[in-house]
């Protein structure tokens, strides 16, 4: 546990010293700030525009950090062979992977927290008040990011960084369309294709359940039960993906 | 207790679509004794790094077993007593030398003043005190190698495994590494290191093993392998002797090269030397120098490797 914390802290330190993270964060804050300008161009809906752009910016920037830094977490270690000196220490491989994951999760948390502060600051400037609905939306978004990081790490334990990025982004896109997959499966009349489509529906993550941005921007109520169910689903799915990643990583040869 | 033991250690790879079988290491049996410096020799691709990676759990063996301090290598806890320097080390370049050593120390469960003192000692040992706050990305190859050795010693290990610790270093750097290895032995550690720089091995190793195409072809004390008294040739430089004597020497099996007033005679055994010295004295010539050539580790290596290169 202590070793895992050491690796997590080192990962956080590594991310802090990475310029890409600052660039993304700066860009995110700029996007959120730009909502003020765009808001003035619309009639009456200014605060809704700011909320829409703010939430979308946090989502996009968070996703970019999760995918690209997440993939680098393991593949950079393999490419630069720094993994040799870690695995040759009394560190079980799963501890290394979990430590790296925790480090990036904390980085993402800090990142999302800074962008949220920027977002709420922008709202205050436009004389709107941040509400619990917005925080709930950001919380679910963060859960989604944790799941995406787990997927990115899992792919990077056995394939190249480019393929990992492609697969992870593909999972993200399909993950937001699983309802369509389900509808398609219902329309098919049996056979292999129905079986395959239904299989994909159950195996792929349902990321749409973490998306309450629309309701939050409109100020519609979000049920607590829905939030808790989504969070539990996200946590279980993330744990399962990390478990698979650990199993693959355990069997891997570091040539 | 054996610091390191391998029995039938084998690693095979399957390459390409046809899953072509490549044997990187073939049934290696080897024991390293406590407190010795063991040199692991072999040309590039002979399987040295594969062996080290298998022992440290970076690769999974196809068959066979290995033990560190009589514990199977599958026990992660046994690595608590092992120090390792990989070949051409790459480290976290965003860390400074001090942060880097502290990080590795923490992985061994060290902390507080014990770790701070240890980091201080090691920075001193590898002469890196001045560069303690410099990020590793600004380090030269030699500095990285030194700080790499320091991280291998952070846990005060009983067994130190170094993969090509002298490669890419200048003569001074190599001497420093050699000195550190000798100091480790004096401190009672066992050192297992792979290399292809033979003079270093001859100078510091107690025993060597020669790996050829994944198979161990020779193992033993350096002196036993190269023969402590076996003289392969003798160079004799003389002057002031008549040509007739040179012809006599050539008939007796020597090769002769004239250089101004001097003649270099290369003789193949001691008996010829006595005969030639008598001849030189008889004809009032002068013996300038007499240099015996011993069989070197390099000769043995070339012989064992049989000129095989991959």
Contact between chains at A85 and B84 (C-beta distance less than 8 A): yes
Could you give the angle at which helices A46-64 and A132-156 cross, rounded to 10 degrees? Answer: 20
Helix (H, G, I), strand (E, B) or coil at B146: helix
What pLDDT score was predicted for residue B37?
94
pLDDT digits (tens, 9 = 90+) for B239-283: 888 888 888 778 877 888 888 888 898 887 666 788 888 888 888
pLDDT digits (tens, 9 = 90+) for A104-146: 999 999 999 998 998 888 888 887 788 888 999 999 999 999 9
CA distance A101 to A4: 10
CA distance B258 to B263: 4
B112 close contact with A: CB closer than 8 A:
no
Pair of tokens at residue A202: 């159950």
Contact between chains at A85 and B80 (C-beta distance less than 8 A): no
CB pairs under 8 A between A and B: 72
- B-chain CB neighbours of A14 within 8 Å are 92, 94
Q: Are strands B71-72 and B63-68 parallel, antiparallel or unpaired?
A: antiparallel
What integer best gives the mean pLDDT of chain B?
A: 86
Q: CA of B150 to nearest chain A CA: how many angstroms apart? A: 12
B22 close contact with A: CB closer than 8 A:
no
> Which ipTM was obtained for this model?
0.82
CA closest to B135 among chain A residues:
A17
A51-74 average pLDDT score: 88
pLDDT digits (tens, 9 = 90+) for B46-71: 899 999 999 999 999 999 999 999 99
Contact between chains at A88 and B57 (C-beta distance less than 8 A): yes
Contact between chains at B58 and A10 (C-beta distance less than 8 A): no
- Global pTM reads 0.83
CA closest to B151 among chain A residues:
A85
Contact between chains at A253 and B59 (C-beta distance less than 8 A): yes
B15 close contact with A: CB closer than 8 A:
no
Q: CA of B74 to nearest chain A CA: how many angstroms apart? A: 10
Percent of chain B at pLDDT above 70?
95
A91 close contact with B: CB closer than 8 A:
yes
Q: How many residues does chain A have?
A: 255
Contact between chains at B104 and A85 (C-beta distance less than 8 A): yes
3-state SS string for chain A: CHHHHHHHHHHHHHHHCCHHHHHHHHHHHHHHHHHHHHHHHCCCCHHHHHHHHHHHHHHHHHHHHHHHHHHHHHHHHHHCCHHHHHHCCCCCHHHHHHHHHHHHHHHHHHHHHHHHHHHHHHHHHCCCCCCHHHHHHHHHHHHHHHHHHHHHHHHHCCCCHHHHHHHHHHHHHHHCCHHHHHHHHHHCCCHHHHHHHHHHHHHCCCHHHHCCHHHHHHCCCCCHHHHHHHHHHHHHHHHHHHHHHHHHHHHCCCC
Least confident segment among A11-20, A244-253, B70-79: A11-20
B92 close contact with A: CB closer than 8 A:
yes
Pair of tokens at residue B84: 């390792």
Pair of tokens at residue B41: 């020799």
With 0-12 CB in 10 A as exposed, 13-18 as middle and 19+ as buried, what is B16?
Answer: exposed
Contact between chains at B79 and A84 (C-beta distance less than 8 A): no
Q: CA of A62 to nearest chain B CA: how many angstroms apart? A: 23
List the Cα angle B31/B32/B37 in 5-degree steps. Answer: 155
List the Cα angle B59/B61/B67 in 5-degree steps. Answer: 95
Contact between chains at B92 and A82 (C-beta distance less than 8 A): yes
- B-chain CB neighbours of A13 within 8 Å are 94-95, 99
- B-chain CB neighbours of A92 within 8 Å are 76
- Asked whether residue B310 carries a pLDDT value surpassing 50, the answer given is no
A41 close contact with B: CB closer than 8 A:
no
pLDDT digits (tens, 9 = 90+) for A202-254: 889 998 889 888 887 787 888 889 999 999 999 999 999 999 999 999 998 88
Contact between chains at A253 and B95 (C-beta distance less than 8 A): no
A92 close contact with B: CB closer than 8 A:
yes
Contact between chains at B86 and A87 (C-beta distance less than 8 A): no
B57 close contact with A: CB closer than 8 A:
yes
List the Cα angle A113/A115/A121 in 5-degree steps. Answer: 105
List the Cα angle A24/A29/A31 in 5-degree steps. Answer: 95
CA distance A129 to A116: 13
What pLDDT score was predicted for residue B63?
93
A13 close contact with B: CB closer than 8 A:
yes
CA distance B215 to B33: 20
- B-chain CB neighbours of A86 within 8 Å are 107
B89 close contact with A: CB closer than 8 A:
yes
- Asked whether residue B153 carries a pLDDT value surpassing 50, the answer given is yes
CA distance A12 to A21: 11
CA closest to A92 among chain B residues:
B76
CA distances B131 to A60, A136, B134, B138, B223, Å, are: 41, 48, 5, 10, 40
- Asked whether residue B150 carries a pLDDT value surpassing 70, the answer given is yes
Of A76-80, A92-96, B212-216, the range with the highest mean pLDDT is A92-96
Mutate to test the interface with A, among B56, B58, B151 (most CBs of A within 10 A): B58
pLDDT digits (tens, 9 = 90+) for B30-39: 999 999 999 9
pLDDT digits (tens, 9 = 90+) for A143-160: 999 999 999 999 999 988
């Amino acid at each position: 546990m202590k070793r895992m914390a050491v690796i997590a802290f080192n990962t956080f330190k590594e991310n802090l010293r990475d310029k890409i993270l600052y660039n993304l964060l700066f860009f995110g804050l700029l996007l959120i700030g730009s909502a003020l300008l765009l808001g003035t161009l619309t009639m009456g809906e200014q605060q809704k525009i700011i909320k829409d752009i703010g939430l979308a910016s946090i989502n996009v920037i968070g996703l970019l950090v999760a995918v690209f830094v997440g993939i680098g977490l393991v593949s950079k270690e393999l490419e630069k062979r720094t993994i040799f000196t870690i695995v040759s220490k009394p560190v079980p491989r799963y501890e290394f992977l979990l430590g790296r994951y925790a480090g990036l999760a904390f980085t993402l948390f800090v990142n999302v927290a800074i962008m949220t502060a920027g977002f709420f600051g922008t709202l205050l400037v436009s004389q709107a008040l941040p509400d619990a609905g917005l925080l709930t939306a950001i919380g679910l978004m963060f859960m989604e990011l944790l799941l995406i990081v787990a997927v990115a790490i899992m792919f990077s334990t056995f394939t190249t960084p480019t393929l990992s990025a492609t697969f992870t982004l593909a999972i993200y896109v399909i993950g937001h369309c699983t309802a369509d997959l389900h509808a398609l499966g219902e329309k098919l009349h049996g056979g292999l294709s129905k079986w395959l489509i239904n299989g994909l529906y159950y195996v792929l993550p349902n990321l749409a359940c973490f998306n309450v941005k629309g309701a939050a921007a409109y100020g519609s109520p979000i049920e607590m039960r829905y939030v808790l169910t989504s969070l539990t689903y996200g946590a279980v799915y993330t744990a399962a993906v990390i478990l698979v990643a650990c199993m693959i990583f355990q069997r891997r040869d570091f040539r | 207790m054996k610091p390191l033991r391998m029995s039938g250690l084998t690693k095979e790879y399957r390459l390409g679509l046809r899953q072509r079988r490549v044997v990187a290491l073939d049934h290696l049996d080897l024991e390293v004794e406590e407190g010795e410096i063991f040199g692991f020799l072999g040309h590039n691709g002979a399987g040295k790094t594969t062996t080290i990676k298998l022992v440290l759990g970076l690769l999974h063996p196809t068959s066979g077993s290995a033990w560190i301090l009589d514990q199977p290598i599958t026990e992660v806890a046994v690595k608590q007593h092992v120090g390792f320097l990989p070949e051409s080390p790459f480290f976290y370049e965003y860390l400074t030398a001090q942060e880097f050593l502290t990080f590795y120390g923490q992985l061994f469960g060290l902390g507080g003043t014990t770790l701070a003192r240890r980091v201080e000692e090691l920075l001193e040992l590898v002469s890196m005190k001045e560069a303690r706050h410099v990020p590793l990305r600004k380090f030269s190859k030699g500095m990285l190698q030194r700080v790499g050795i320091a991280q291998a010693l952070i846990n005060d290990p009983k067994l130190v495994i170094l993969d090509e610790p002298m490669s890419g270093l200048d003569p001074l750097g190599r001497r420093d590494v050699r000195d550190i290895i000798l100091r480790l032995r004096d401190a009672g550690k066992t050192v297992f290191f792979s290399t292809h720089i033979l003079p270093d091995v001859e100078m510091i190793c107690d025993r060597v093993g020669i790996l050829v195409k994944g198979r161990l072809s020779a193992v033993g004390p350096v002196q036993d392998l190269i023969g402590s008294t076996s003289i392969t040739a003798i160079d004799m430089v003389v002057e002031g002797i008549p040509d007739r004597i040179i012809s006599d020497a050539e008939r007796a099996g020597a090769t002769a090269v004239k250089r101004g007033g001097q003649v270099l005679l290369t003789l193949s055994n001691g008996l010829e030397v006595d005969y030639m010295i008598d001849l030189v004295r008889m004809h009032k010539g002068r013996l300038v120098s007499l240099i015996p050539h011993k069989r070197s580790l390099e000769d043995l290596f070339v012989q064992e490797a049989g000129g095989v290169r991959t």
